[in-house]
């Protein structure tokens, strides 16, 4: 996976600031505070023939690379103990698909799909004591999907399919998580998120599950 230089810079800055913010003076954790964060993890898609459809094939097998690292840079505002709004940028990875046919002709159509985008979420928070807080979120993901396809052998791609396809759209996203306060200024978060129907008929449409852990810094 190739990461944009801005993501690497943001990650380095967050890691550099973390020790100072962990030692900082206490803040009002009941609400009314800004925060920023960085999470890393794994993005997962299921097998889907929509990305590499073939025409007239009677025997084929779909092979895919279903996981890729994902990175998310976020910022938000916590209004009170139970509600926050957050948004940011996510790189959800590059996924490989190959539809390998053996009849009536041998060959394969392969594709690489990349998913990036901006997101905005409403976050519900449930303090559980001892520094733990459960969270649930729902929001929108402005996705940009790029799919590049190649064909080998005697297979025929589905009619109207582009070798280079792009899709920009808004997708539903929701998730659950748990976070723990390391100090008055720093929180570690683990979460699961699902993005629904990412892509189009041209790029192929997939659902993504994203599992991540990260550091949240309050100020």
What mean pLDDT is predicted for residues 30-59? 85
Lowest mean pLDDT across 5-14, 92-101, 140-149, 164-173? 5-14
pLDDT of residue 58: 83
CATH 2.40.160.20 given to domain 5-218: yes
**pTM, two decimal places:** 0.80
What mean pLDDT is predicted for residues 189-197? 96
pLDDT of residue 21: 44
Tell me the range of 24-38, 41-55, 78-92 where mean pLDDT is highest: 78-92
Dihedral (CA of 63, 64, 66, 67) sign: positive
What residue ranges do the domains of the chain occupy? 5-218
The answer to whether the CB of 64 falls within 8 A of the CB of 95 is: yes
Q: Report strand pairing: 186-200 vs 83-103.
A: unpaired
Single out the residue of 76, 88, 171, 195 nearest to residue 124, CA to CA: 76
The values of phi and psi at residue 46, to 5°, are -90, 170
- What band does 30 get if pLDDT is binned at 50, 70 and 90? low
- What band does 53 get if pLDDT is binned at 50, 70 and 90? confident
DSSP 2: P
d(CA 163, CA 181): 48
SS3 84: strand
Residue 195 has pLDDT above 50, yes or no: yes
pLDDT of residue 20: 52
Tally the C-alpha atoms within 13 A of residue 39's C-alpha that lie toward its C-beta: 29
Place of tokens 């990349």: 114
Higher pLDDT, 164 or 12: 164
Residue 173 has pLDDT above 90, yes or no: yes
pLDDT of residue 2: 43
Residue 131 has pLDDT above 80, yes or no: yes
SS3 134: strand
Residue 44 has pLDDT above 80, yes or no: yes
The values of phi and psi at residue 204, to 5°, are 95, 140
d(CA 1, CA 4): 10
Place of tokens 């803040």: 27
How far apart, in Å, do the first and last CA atoms of the chain sit? 32
Residue 22 has pLDDT above 90, yes or no: no
Q: 133-151, pLDDT tens digit by residue?
A: 999 999 999 999 999 999 9
d(CA 198, CA 145): 8
pLDDT of residue 4: 46
CB contact set of 208 (below 8 Å; sequence gap of 6+):
43, 44, 45, 92, 115, 194, 195, 198
């Amino acid at each position: 996976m190739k990461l944009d230089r801005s993501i690497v810079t943001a990650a380095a800055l967050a890691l550099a600031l973390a020790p100072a913010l962990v030692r900082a003076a206490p803040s009002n954790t009941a609400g009314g505070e800004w925060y920023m964060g960085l999470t890393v993890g794994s993005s997962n898609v299921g097998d889907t023939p929509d990305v590499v459809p073939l025409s007239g094939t009677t025997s084929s097998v779909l092979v895919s690379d279903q996981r890729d690292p994902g990175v998310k840079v976020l910022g938000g505002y916590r209004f009170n103990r139970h509600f926050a709004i957050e948004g940011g940028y996510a790189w959800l990875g590059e996924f490989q698909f190959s539809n390998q046919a053996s009849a009536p002709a041998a060959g394969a159509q392969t594709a690489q799909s990349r998913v990036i985008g901006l997101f905005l979420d409403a976050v519900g928070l449930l303090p559980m004591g001892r520094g733990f807080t459960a969270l649930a979120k729902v929001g929108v993901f402005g996705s940009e999907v790029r799919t590049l396809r190649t064909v080998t052998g005697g297979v025929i791609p589905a009619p109207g399919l582009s070798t280079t396809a792009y899709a920009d759209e808004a997708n539903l996203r929701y998730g659950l998580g748990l976070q723990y306060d390391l100090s008055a200024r720093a929180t570690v978060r683990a979460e699961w998120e699902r993005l629904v129907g990412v892509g189009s008929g041209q790029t192929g449409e997939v659902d993504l599950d994203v599992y991540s852990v990260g550091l949240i810094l309050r100020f």
